Amino acid sequence: MTDHYFSADPSVPFTREDFTCEVWGNEIALTSGSGVYSRGHLDHGTAVLFRETEPPAQGQVLDLGCGYGVIGLAIAKSVPLANVTGIDVNERAILLANENARALGLGGRFVACTPDAVPTTYRFDEIWSNPPIRIGKEALHELLLTWLPRLAPGGRAVMVVGKNLGGDSLQRWLTEQGYPTQRLASAKGFRVLESRRAE
């Protein structure tokens, strides 16, 4: 069976690969690796997300499907009053994300873990994600309906989704589920969506 970046324990040999990117005026050095999404570079969708948004002001932030931590670490680096939880099912991604946090001096404000390690009572002011669209629509909907209810009242989710991967239909679906969603930006074939939780 072919391994995917959303496999819990990729069996491909583990090779680390370093790269540096600039996000919101900060240079961030990261270690990626085989068996993890977007090895050795910042993927196009996440690059659009960063270019078309400003970081949150503060608060508890969830990096949903964190991979090796690029979104959550960029937020923690840019926002001194943010505490970020990254979740992923890929154990290799979690390992790399926590290694990156320590290397960047952000280990006190960023932690990556599996979804079931997050207490069910925990609430987030913001959720940021380049969601794993390729897990399939049903699994994606289940994922979002698991975590969007964990937004604090007035909280928001910011996501980047490829137009050709259903960005527009996802926007409509999120609104139908009770999370009014607007398009913040459209660039290079991607939609940046903002979903709000009602007060």
Which CATH number goes with the domain that contains 105? 3.40.50.150
Residue 30 has which token pair? 């990261």
C-alpha distances in Å from residue 32, one per residue of 92, 167, 193, 197: 10, 26, 26, 33
Q: What is the pLDDT of residue 13?
A: 63
- Which residues fall within 8 angstroms of residue 119, CB to CB, at 6 or more apart? none
The total number of structural domains that make up the chain: 1
Q: Is residue 75 part of a domain?
A: yes
pLDDT of residue 1: 33
> pLDDT (tens digit, 9 = 90+) per residue, 81-137?
999 999 999 999 999 999 999 999 999 999 999 999 999 999 999 999 999 888 889
The answer to whether residue 140 is domain-embedded is yes
Question: What is the predicted pLDDT for the residue at 38?
Answer: 81
Pair 128, 161: CB distance under 8 Å: no
Evaluate if pTM is beyond 0.85: yes
pLDDT at residue 179 in the model: 96
Domain assignment present for 71: yes
Any domain includes 8: no
| pLDDT tens, position by position, 131-174 | 988 888 999 999 999 999 999 999 999 999 998 878 899 999 99
Identify whether 1 is part of a domain.
no
Q: What is the pLDDT of residue 176?
A: 95
Residue 86 covered by a domain: yes
Q: Which domain holds residue 68?
A: 16-196
User: Does a structural domain hold residue 10?
Assistant: no
Separation CA 193–CA 126 (nearest Å): 13
Is there a domain that residue 4 lies in?
no
Residue 34 pLDDT = 83
Go through the chain and tell me how many residues it has: 199
